[in-house]
Amino acid sequence: MARVLSGVQPSGSLHLGNYLGAIRQWALDQFVADSFYCVVDLHGLTAEHDPGELRQRTLETAVGLLAAGLDPEVCTLFVQSHVHEHAELSWLLECTATFGELSRMTQFKDKSLGRESVRAGLFTYPALMAADILLYDADRVPVGEDQRQHLELTRDLALRFNSRYGETFVVPEAAIPKVAARVMDLQHPERKMSKSVESPLGTITILDSRDEIARKVRKAVTDTDGEVRYDPDRKPGLANLIELLAASTGRSVDEVVGGYTRYGPLKGDLAEALAGALAPVKARYEQLSADPASVAALLEKGAAKASAVASATLRRAQQAIGLLMPGSADR
């Protein structure tokens, strides 16, 4: 059985980009692969954060994943910091990566641009992400388009480590969806939908009500030429709506384009489709968040399952790279 791993940052309620770009796929993968999913709270320390809020959001993000369909009886769901091997392997991979390759990561460049103070962890972030993946011998990593470069780096690090120190890691592949791999902000269709951007009207979260969804879709920025055509360069706002409708109804982009001559009806159908897809997620979220203790307990169980796999891989890597194993005189 293939092994799958993916992660999401604990930035509060999940948005449509997370859901369509990644998490919907996780919920399908759990039934066909041995799947590990984590809330990456250590990654949440790479930019300014509030300690209490981080803790709260870590739990809320886990609740969001359960609401979106992850079944803890079927997959392994855990919090990254509960499995100490992530931080430990990350160091070995920081000593495998080079300053040059980390400097070329576009996410680092974007997030550090114009900032006076940048945490060193933001720079080494991709080594920690590589550790998340390599610890579980993952064959496949379902992510949105924005993570492609980090996955390439992970593959390079695995190959380099294996060739220097002997076969240790499985070299993973990115699994990026065909549509909705990069959901754009509804108000600023030139940038991706994200939780950190201050754009409440541009971001639809899994907890938005039917009315909020309808309002945001209605107000979504398009263009004035009025022609229904898929052209992400010239008509990014409309292209985004077309992709969202395709992704939320299981139709192709061409089918969606062929079905409309005006923006209004397309927006109306999109609002309906999104509200229909998200209503059960929102309902489950409300139910689950009423019982945080149960969620905490199942995260603890998940961490124990994850540790069993991660500790074996970490030991392999420590041995290969030349650390003296505790209690051993092996050379």
- Cβ neighbors of 120 (< 8 A, separation 6 or more) are none
Strands 140-142 and 173-175: parallel
143 or 157: CB nearest ligand TRP: 143
Least separation in angstroms between CB 132 and ligand TRP: 4
Question: Would you say 238 and 223 are in contact if contact means Cβ atoms under 8 Å apart?
Answer: yes
Phi, psi of 315 (to 5 degrees): -60, -45
Which structure tokens are listed for 37?
């999913």
34 or 146: CB nearest ligand AMP: 146
**Region near ligand AMP per CB under 6 A, out of 31-39, 177-185, 212-220, 278-286:** 177-185
Which structure tokens are listed for 140?
């496949």
The distance from CA 213 to its chain's CA centroid, rounded to whole angstroms, is 22
Q: Does 8 bind ligand AMP (CB under 6 A)?
A: yes
Question: Would you say 274 and 213 are in contact if contact means Cβ atoms under 8 Å apart?
Answer: yes
**Residue 208 CB neighbour total at 10 angstroms:** 21
Residue of 11, 13, 96, 147 that binds ligand TRP (CB under 6 A): 147
If contact means CB under 5 to 8 A according to the sort of partner, which of ligand TRP, ligand AMP, none does residue 141 touch? ligand TRP
36 or 161: CB nearest ligand AMP: 36
Least separation in angstroms between CB 268 and ligand TRP: 31
- The conformation of residue 184, written as its DSSP 8-state character, comes to B
- Cβ neighbors of 142 (< 8 A, separation 6 or more) are 4, 6, 22, 25, 26, 29, 175, 176, 177
Q: Does 172 bind ligand AMP (CB under 6 A)?
A: no
If contact means CB under 5 to 8 A according to the sort of partner, which of ligand TRP, ligand AMP, none does residue 192 touch? ligand AMP
Instruction: Please say if 111 is a catalytic residue.
Output: yes
Residue of 3, 4, 13, 17 that binds ligand AMP (CB under 6 A): 17
Residues of the shown chain interacting with ligand TRP in the complex, contacts defined by CB under 6 A: 5-7, 9, 40, 43, 129, 132-133, 141, 143, 147, 150
Query: Interface with ligand AMP by CB under 6 A: which residues?
Result: 8-9, 11, 17-18, 21-22, 143-144, 146-147, 181-183, 192-194
